[in-house]
Structure formats: C-alpha cells, structure tokens
Amino acid sequence: MTTVSDNKPTPAFSDFSLSKPVLDAIKRIGYEQPSPIQSESIPPLLDGRDLIGTAQTGTGKTAAFALPLLSQIDLKKKEPQILVLAPTRELAIQVAEAFKTYAGEMKGFNVLPIYGGQGMDGQLRQLRRGAHVVVGTPGRVMDHLRRSTLKLNAIKSIVLDEGDEMLRMGFIDDVTWILDQAPKKRQVALFSATMPAPIRRVADKYLVNPQIVKIVSKTSTVERIEQRFWLVSGLHKLDALTRILEVEDFDGIIMFVRTKALTVELAEKLEARGYSASAINGDMTQTLRERTIVQLKKGKIDILVATDVAARGIDVTRISHVINYDIPYDTEAYVHRIGRTGRAGRTGKAILFVAPRERRLLRAIEKATRQPISAMELPTQRQINEKRATLFKDKITEALSHKNLSFFDQVIQSYLEESDVDPMQLASALAYMAQKSKPLVLAESSNKTTTKERLSGKKDSSFRKNRPVQEDQNSFPKSKRGNPKVPMDNYRVAVGKNHQVKPGDLVGAIANEAEVEPKNIGHIELRDDHSFIELPIGMPKIVFESLKKIRVRNLPLKIERTGHVAKPSATTTKPTKGKKTYTKKPKKKKKKSLRKD
C-alpha cells in the first residue's frame, strides 16, 4: 500500500507516459502539478493494474483515473471502452464533463452520461451513434444492459467512483451485478473516501492484485474558518439571508444551494435587493463559468450562487465568506465548500442554514470536522438600522469630499429662499427621497424565538399553533405517507401510457428535480396521453417552474395544478425490487433505500 501525505512534493504531468493529446489538454487547461492522488494513481493505471484509491472529496480523483484511461482510448472503435459508475446524476454529469475537457484535443471523442430522470430516447440515440466513455448511475446502466442497448464487450476499464456513497445509497448489489456482466479481463479502479467492510468485500472479489493508494491529509482550512449556523424557523430563508448580509462585513461570497434552478432564482432575487450577484451551475458553458469567476476575482460581482459541481476548482482569494444556503448531505461536501474561504493563510467565515429536520446533518458535520459550530442569532432591528444609518452617513461623507456640489448648493439655497422651511427639515426630506426605495428603518418581526430556545425545543406553544415553522422555503413540506392530516395538491402532466411512461419515471424525475423524497409523492393515475399525480400542498414557485421544464421519456412534463383527484394506478401498488412503493398505503418500518437515479 502507498500512503501519501497531501503535502508531499509531486512530479510534473510530463513525467508520466500520458498521450500527447491528453498532455496538450492539460497544458491548455492550465494544470501545473498533479495532486497526490493523481501522482500515485496515474502510473499503475497506465500500466493496466487494478487500483484502490482512498482520498477525501476535492482531491482530484476524477483526473486521477480519467487522464491515464483516456491515454489508452482507441478512437477508431465507436463502442464503450471505459465505464464509470457514479452514485448520483450530478456526479455523473460532472465526471462526463471532466472527461470531455481532458479529451479536448482528441478529435472524434465522445462521452455519454446516462442517469434516471432523463429521457431514454435521447440516450438510445447517442448510444447508437457511439460513445468511447459511458458515465452512469447504477440503476440506469442496469436498465440499458437489460435492454441490450449498452454492450460491455469492448470495455477495457471500469471505475467505481465514490464507492462508500454508492454503499450508503443502496447501490452495491447493482454495482456487483454490473461487474458480473463485464468481461472477465478488464481493469477495475475503485475510489472511495472511506473503506467500509462491504466495499472491501467488493474489492476483494472483483479486483486482482490491486495497487492501494491512500492519501492522508495533514492540513485543513477548517481550523482557520469561523463557523456559525442559523436554525431556520419562522422567517423566510431569503429574508434571513438579507439580514445577515446587511450586517456582515464581507468582500466576496460563495453561496451554495442544491439545485441549478435555485442558483439563478436566488441570484436574481439578490440582484433585486441591491447586491451584485451571479449564478454558476452545470448548465453553463465552461467559457461562461470562467468569465463569471474572473468577474468575481476582479470585484465586478460580490456574490456567486453555486452548486457543488459548478464550484469545483474555484480558487479566489477575496472570498471572505461561504454561506451554505442549503446544507450539504455529506460532510465531505461541507468541508470542500467552506475550504473556498480561508485561503493563503487568511481567516474566513462560514455560515450554515439548518432546517429543524436537518439537525442530524449538523451534528454529523461537527463530528467529522471535530469542531463545534456555534449557533448565531439573526441581526436585530436595532443592529440593522444602525448599520444602514452608518452606511448612509458614509455616503454623505463621500459626496461632500469628492463631488462638485455647486449646482445643488444653488438649488437648495433657492428653495430655502422661496419657502419658509427649516434647513434640518429640508435635509430630512432629501434623505427620505434618497432612501425611499430602501428605508433606513427595518420593521421588527414578531418572532423573537432565539436559536437556543429552538434547539432545545422550548418554543412558545402559541407560536407553534398559530404560525407553523416553515422548514425550507425551497423544498416541499415534510410529510408522512398515509397521514390523512397532510393535504395534497393534484397535478396533471402531459405524459401517459401511450408514451410508455411508468409511475417510476414520474417519481424519479420529480424526486430528482424538486428534491422531494419519493415517499412524499402520493397517488399516480396513468391515462393514455396524460397522467395525474398528488404532491404535498405548498409547492414553492421555484420548484413548480423548474418542473415545467423537465422531460420524461424525452417529452415535456407540462405540469399544471388541477382539481382532479388521482386514483392509484395498479402499477403503483406493486412493489418492485429496489424501488419504493408510491401510494399512500402505510409501510412497515424497514431500512429505506436512498436510490435517486
């Protein structure tokens, strides 16, 4: 086994036997030196050896396997030669984009990401055209293998990316099934942040004399970062965010959210509130992403609203704050996020929004980082008013110091001569006019429950009864299946039986895009050319708008609210292996599957 510290000196990419097109792409991208996981993984993978790589998120694992495997691609063969299995569609897209970038100098190269929630027809067309690399989630790869639309005859290498995450999401049986379908003579690389026993058993069974590389990180930016959290309750998250931004002295901010749609929505709302903000997500071209990051570096924008995928590789020294508007689902993502601040020996600040149901994630983060995260109170009315007044005074001082005010002197003098007005009253009226769009005085909310009281559960009972806590303004309310007290809204979608749509297609698409758990989806009634589906009442506008844009079986969903009451389809009541039951029928308590693909 090779154990490497992350601060060990590393060789140059040119020291490896990578192909010329790959080296040219590396030079064009601007990579200078390989990371420890890359320098230790590239040589054995180039030699055709199996490999087990253990390293934390954000250490460059994708390049560690993509660069050597691309160097051995035969572009003349239009069939899959590399298969990468990833636990989520987001990671599958990210890895596919990385392959495309690293193969930028390889003419005729094709990579195809395949995952659930995406139309099958488009994937079938691209598979028929030919793809050298396929990156997919286990469930969708299994679907294609069973349909014989994906063939593994020419597969040279298989990569299992984030193995421990696939274990956590219940994909290990799927992974082993896929490995059983692959040619016996192939190279296997397994990458995982940790190595639990089930992952070790997979490695022992399917990998032959693997090279074991373990990267041990000795330093952490977490120690230089002041971490705080706000327990979401009562106040809208955006209003709370605005309060925090008003009193925090910040230079640059990266704000993390879970969905691509929310990056745009939140950036637009911040712009409307007077902040210089921009979105960055996986739907943007690489050129546009790079341009946005340059604007952040130059101070043309102050707030970058990003997803985890889009923010990878961002290194901007002026980032003083990282705000987790949506809490990440795993601790490594949190560490990776807040590592965007506190660079170059500077201190940084990280703020985390935690909904009541997410407190277990907060505890997991504290355990992983071995550091407590302190609770923060929202700025009070007095603090915000004082800050606004101070900024207004600063503007007056700046205007008096640097502006030619002779014309305005004449206008004001003329007004004072024409009307019997006290100069102080005139100044106040002008101040009101200047700040009319953004008052200097904030009206205080009636919710005075403190974070400490909310953590302990000692809240005013009348508040709970009269003003329910809204846990997350950008996701569905939490509900229990089969609970008659939880109302459902009914929706019509423009896909049905004639389009070969199954209930699982609708559930997968909606669960992925709207971030609603499958168990919170009610009855589904399939008709010939349309269907009806029940979703928890109170769907946020941003979620509804994003659902309008998604496609199922390569057809637009065209979701709309309706008064029709969905009747459960026969297919929704019959459980299938590895799938959830999507009716409101109460289930026996059992270990939940977290499959999302």
Question: Is 65 inside a domain boundary?
Answer: yes
Question: Is 425 inside a domain boundary?
Answer: no
Average pLDDT score, the chain:
79
CATH number at residue 362: 3.40.50.300
Same domain, 31 and 179: yes
Same domain, 313 and 365: yes
pLDDT one-digit tens code per residue, 263-287: 999 999 999 888 999 999 878 887 8
If one counts every other C-beta atom within 10 angstroms of the C-beta of residue 122, the result is 14
Same domain, 205 and 288: no
- Does residue 343 carry a pLDDT above 80? no
- Does residue 463 carry a pLDDT above 90? no
- What's the angle, vertex CA 146, arms to CA 85 and CA 509, rounded to 5? 65
Question: Is 241 inside a domain boundary?
Answer: yes
- Does residue 386 carry a pLDDT above 50? yes
Cβ proximity of 507 and 460 under 8 Å: no
Which of 62 and 394 is assigned the larger pLDDT? 62
> What tokens were used for 529?
């050319």
pLDDT one-digit tens code per residue, 567-593: 555 444 333 333 333 333 344 444 444
Write down the pLDDT at residue 513.
Answer: 67
The residue among 216, 231, 262 that closes a domain is 216
Q: How far is CA 314 from CA 58, 293, 308, 338, 339, in A?
A: 11, 8, 11, 12, 10
- Does residue 446 carry a pLDDT above 70? no
The residue among 342, 359, 381 that closes a domain is 381
CATH number at residue 556: 3.30.70.330
The b/e string for 491-512 (b: 16+ C-beta within 10 A; e otherwise) is bbbebbeebebbbbbbbbbbbb
Write down the pLDDT at residue 41.
Answer: 93
pLDDT category of residue 365 using cuts at 50, 70 and 90: confident
Same domain, 193 and 332: no
Q: Which of 241-250, 286-295, 337-346, 575-584 has the lowest mean pLDDT?
A: 575-584
Write down the pLDDT at residue 437.
Answer: 66
Same domain, 39 and 187: yes
Most confident range (mean pLDDT) of 84-93, 226-235, 297-306, 464-473 is: 297-306
Same domain, 140 and 269: no
Same domain, 212 and 225: no
Same domain, 142 and 225: no
The residue among 216, 236, 271 that closes a domain is 216
Question: Is 202 inside a domain boundary?
Answer: yes
Same domain, 258 and 367: yes
Same domain, 167 and 262: no
pLDDT average, residue stretch 204-214? 93
Same domain, 187 and 260: no
Question: Is 33 inside a domain boundary?
Answer: yes
> What tokens were used for 560?
């709309």
Write down the pLDDT at residue 178.
Answer: 95
pLDDT category of residue 456 using cuts at 50, 70 and 90: very low
**Distance, CA of 409 to CA of 403 (rounded, Å):** 12
**Distance, CA of 257 to CA of 323 (rounded, Å):** 9
- Measured in whole angstroms, the distance separating CA 45 from the mean position of its chain's CA atoms is 30
Write down the pLDDT at residue 36.
Answer: 84
Question: Is 448 inside a domain boundary?
Answer: no
pLDDT category of residue 176 using cuts at 50, 70 and 90: very high
pLDDT category of residue 433 using cuts at 50, 70 and 90: confident
Residue numbers of the domain that contains 181: 2-216
Write down the pLDDT at residue 2.
Answer: 56
Beta strands 187-192 and 303-306 are unpaired
**Distance, CA of 329 to CA of 590 (rounded, Å):** 21
Question: Is 454 inside a domain boundary?
Answer: no
Q: Which of 145-149, 161-165, 187-191 has the lowest mean pLDDT?
A: 161-165
Write down the pLDDT at residue 378.
Answer: 83
Write down the pLDDT at residue 278.
Answer: 93
- Does residue 528 carry a pLDDT above 90? no
> What tokens were used for 7?
């601060």
> What tokens were used for 294?
């340059």
Write down the pLDDT at residue 57.
Answer: 56
**Distance, CA of 594 to CA of 245 (rounded, Å):** 35
Same domain, 235 and 267: yes
Q: Which of 119-123, 215-219, 237-241, 352-356 has the lowest mean pLDDT?
A: 215-219
The residues, any chain, with a CB within 8 Å of residue 491's CB and separated by 6 or more, are: 532, 533, 534, 535, 559, 560, 561, 562
Helices (H) and strands (E) in the chain, counts: 22, 21
Provide the domain count of the chain.
Answer: 3
pLDDT average, residue stretch 351-370? 84
Question: Is 400 inside a domain boundary?
Answer: no
